[in-house]
Chain A
């Protein structure tokens, strides 16, 4: 059995589902939300690479490079926000940050 485009697409869709579930179902820690976001970007990267290989167009790989950059910057800023949040609230619980009530 050789790997086809579908295998990669199914794999990245599963990764995407897992990370979406991590974002929505997670009721404990904001750190887990950030990790899920990283996983989300990784699954998109997998998609890009798979299409780039099977269509034979190198543009997808260039996109992956920029997405990696954006993901790193986002992780850096997100973690900085988390550090400041923890300093002020002494907790990273999702349910503890409920000062705005709609």
Chain B
């Protein structure tokens, strides 16, 4: 069982190695002449207008939270989907009750406007 993951480990090692090799090739053969102008941040050609700090938008946080919740829902769905034929009607009804609870939460956040971006 564990041994089946060995090709994945190998693949990971090869891809990391490939990335390192390609980047170091660029470092080896490329020319690097930096000036202040070159390393300054790019803002469509203009100088930066104001401070780089900006207010954190809570909407991103809300999206992340909702993702965590529905991600967990999927984690519960996976084992259920695999053994559904053995579980029968009882398993089906149980999962549908669980999904019903989640849908109630989903409707709540929809009506609250948590999914509106504008």
Interface SS majority for chain B:
helix
Count A/B pairs, Cβ under 8 Å. 22
Complex Cα distance, B68 from A79, in Å, reads 12
**B61 in contact with A83 (CB, 8 Å):** yes
Q: Which residues of B contact A29 (CB under 8 A)?
A: none
> What string of 1s and 0s marks CB contacts (under 8 Å) between B73-85 and chain A?
0011000000000
A68 touches B72 (CB 8 A): yes
Q: Which residues of A contact B68 (CB under 8 A)?
A: 72, 75-76
Q: A91 contacts the other chain (Cβ, under 8 Å)? A: no
Residues of A near B27 (CB, < 8 A) are: none
User: In the complex, A83 Cα to B68 Cα: how many Å?
Assistant: 17
Q: Does the CB pair B58–A76 fall under 8 Å? A: no
Query: Are B75 and A68 in touch, CB under 8 angstroms?
Result: yes
Interface digits, B10-43 against A, CB 8 Å rule (1 contact, 0 not)?
A: 0000000000000000000000000000000000
Chain B 91-111 near chain A by CB (<8 Å), digits 1 or 0: 000000000000000000000
Is the CB of B65 closer than 8 A to any CB of chain A? Answer: yes
Evaluate contact between B72 and A72: CB separation under 8 angstroms: yes
Instruction: Report yes or no: A69 in contact with B61, Cβ–Cβ below 8 A.
Output: no
Q: Which residues of A contact B71 (CB under 8 A)?
A: 72
Q: By the criterion CB–CB under 8 Å, are B69 and A76 in contact? A: yes
Chain B residue nearest in CB terms to A76: B65
Within the complex, the shortest CB–CB distance from A43 to chain B, in Å, comes to: 20
Residue-wise interface mask of A (23-65) relative to B, using a CB-CB cutoff of 8 A (1 in contact, 0 not) = 0000000000000000000000000000000000000000001
A44 to B72, CA, bound (A): 19
Q: How far is the CB of A51 from the nearest CB of chain B, in Å? A: 19
Please, how many angstroms separate the alpha-carbon atoms of A80 and B75 in the complex? 23
Closest approach, in angstroms, between the C-beta of A66 and any C-beta of chain B?
Answer: 10
Partner of A79, one of B56, B61, B76: B61
Q: Which residues of B contact A (CB under 8 A)?
A: 56, 58, 61, 65, 68-69, 71-72, 75-76
Interface of A toward B, CB cutoff 8 Å? 65, 68-69, 72-73, 75-76, 79-80, 83
